[in-house]
Amino acid sequence: MTDKIKVGDYLIIQRQKYTKLQKFNNLNTTVNLGKDQIELRLAENHPYCTTFHLVPKQERGRRLYTLDALSTPSEIRNLKELLIKESGNDNRNIIDDRQSQTLSTEEILKLREECESSSEVIGKLVENSKSFATKTEYSQEKYLKRKEKKYFEYITIRRPSIRLLTDIYWRLDPEKVLGVRFDTLSQIISYSGVCSVGNYLLYESGTNGLLPAAMLNSIGAETGGKLVHLHPGNVAQKQALFAMDYPAEQQARCVSVNIYSVLRHFYQDREGAKENDAQEPVVAEAKENETLEPVVAKAEDSTDGERTEEVNGTSKRKHEETQDGTADDEPEAKQLKVDKQKQAWELENEAAAMDYPAEQQARCVSLKVDKQKQAWELENEAAASIMRERFDSLVIVAKEHPYSILKALLPFVKPSRPVVIFSTCREILTESYVDMKAEASVTYLRVTSNWMRQYQILPNRTHPDVTMSGSSGYLLTGYTIGN
């Protein structure tokens, strides 16, 4: 992880309070902010948190900009100091008749093309406004802020963080992160006790990788902590994990597997181990029988020989001669047969290699591929090995009803360890609460909800935000009980 912007990194593009996640795929990458297109070519090798000035390119019909890095953020002009020279006492005499601005729409568009900076455009708008000077200072600030938001010409490129990613996902669509707001995410991390040591189990059914990224961030780099990330689909959602750009060794300690596949793999391995343990005494008995068989056979041969001696001595000699003859001939006959088969197999291979070399090579490659294990099988083995050690925490964030998932995963959690379940519906957690109380497998059960309120902090006008989210879901927490 470097402190400079590189091709292939995920970037947070910030323009005033607006933020956007963008991947810097190549030098020709552009980012769209409203109707503006911004080329990111000149951002390479600049440090993160650098502020850039948007320089317009002369292309008709397109609002295309390139970047020019600012040496200090103080270069950004303060419009309040530049344009507010006098203000009125109140707005009672101002009439909104849509005629206070003398410039037409065509003239304003022409100004945007001719002026080098947005402050010049806003200055022209203020000069041609009939009512700006009579507004109160507070109304003038609101007017400038609104125009600055529209014509602002600076962006800041920041490194992705869990807080920024959570805000971006929540603003775009809360359902894409299952309704997990950043305050609820912090509560999940706190209740689950994720730290740099131990094994942690997470099931989530679609948060764009936000939950595993947050838990892996709490585990940290170059530590002993491990995370098993279970998901219901074929491929895990990992955009937030990729955006955080963790070191390779830290990413390797997060194993993402399908929940059904890994549970089947775990229980099949356990049944196979039980069968092997059951077969061990049978194999030992078979070995004992193999050692006893020659002794018994030898004793039987000696008794038969004595009987034949009593009957007729010549028959004994004939029997021994024929037995010796067949014993000597058998190895030679077997060796000849094996040599013939080997020669025939070698001839067939040589002929096939001479006639069809491409097919022969393809056959060999397919055999090698069949012998190699696929990536998901290796991940299942890695996850199953951690599951045998058992986990120090269990977190479930699911669209579906969590109780069946909880019953399947609870045996893998050590005693006296936290369990955290998130859902946007209180009734679902209430049902799980009653069932868990009846089973007595988890104690100290609590259903909680966060209520967060953001405030605007400004001189003489501090108040809660007018628009804000009401609820960010509910948490069911508890601690496991050992058998």
User: Do the domain assignments include residue 354?
Assistant: no
Does residue 281 lie in a domain region? no
Picking from 28, 54, 74, the residue at the C-terminal end of a domain is 74
Residues 139 and 221 in one domain: no
Over range 128-154, report the average pLDDT.
82
Query: How confident is the model over 455-478, as a mean pLDDT?
Result: 85
381 and 449 both lie in a single domain: yes
Higher-confidence residue: 421 or 358? 421
Same domain, 381 and 466: yes
Q: Is residue 122 part of a domain?
A: yes
- CA–CA separation, 70 and 51 (whole Å): 6
Of 214, 160, 219, 225, give the one whose Cα is nearest residue 187: 214
Q: pLDDT by residue (tens digit) across 31-67? A: 998 888 999 999 999 999 999 988 888 766 678 889 9
Whether 360 is in a domain gets the answer no
Residue 364, pLDDT above cutoff 80 = no
Number of domains making up the chain: 3
Residues 32 and 81 in one domain: no
In order of 32, 109, 120, 237, the CA distances from 113 in angstroms are 19, 7, 11, 43
Mean pLDDT of 79-91: 68
Task: Convert the pLDDT of each residue in 424-452 to its tens digit.
Answer: 999 999 999 999 999 989 999 999 998 88
Boundaries of domain holding 390:
162-261+376-480
Mean of the per-residue pLDDT values for the chain? 80
Which has the higher per-residue pLDDT, 314 or 135?
Answer: 135
pLDDT band of 325, cuts 50, 70, 90: very low
Same domain, 81 and 69: no
Which of residues 127, 153, 179 is at a domain's end?
153
**36-41 contacts at long range (C-beta below 8 A, 24 or more positions apart):** 36/63, 36/64, 36/65, 37/62, 37/63, 37/64, 37/65, 38/13, 38/64, 38/65, 38/66, 38/67, 38/155, 39/64, 39/65, 39/66, 39/67, 40/11, 40/67, 41/66, 41/67
Q: Quickly tell me which residue has 């998130």 as its tokens.
A: 422
Give 18's strand partners: 15
In this prediction, residues 353-375 reach a mean pLDDT of 54
Better pLDDT: 278 or 165: 165
Kindly give the pairing relationship between strand 30-33 and strand 36-39. antiparallel
Is there a contact between 155 and 15 (Cβ–Cβ < 8 Å)?
yes
User: Is 66 found in the same domain as 193?
Assistant: no
For residue 42, is it within any domain?
yes
Quickly state the pLDDT bin for 73 (edges 50, 70, 90). low
Q: Is residue 367 part of a domain?
A: no
In a domain, 368, yes or no: no
| Domain end point (choices 37, 58, 74) | 74
Sequence-separated (6 or more) residues with CB below 8 Å from residue 465 = 453, 454, 455, 456
Helices (H), 173-258: 182-192, 210-219, 239-244, 248-252
Residues 248 and 387 in one domain: yes
Task: Note the pTM of the prediction, 2 decimals.
Answer: 0.74
pLDDT at 345: 47
Domain assignment present for residue 10? The answer is yes
| CATH (domain of 399) | 3.40.50.150
Same-domain pairing of 183 and 233: yes
Burial of 18 (0-12, 13-18, 19+ CB in 10 A): middle
CA distance 196 to 216: 9
Q: Do 36 and 175 lie in a common domain?
A: no
Pair (52, 184) in one structural domain: no
More confident residue, 437 or 133: 437
Residues 188 and 240 reside in one and the same domain? yes
Q: Which pLDDT band holds residue 124 (cuts at 50, 70, 90)?
A: confident
249 has pLDDT over 90: yes
Same domain, 392 and 471: yes
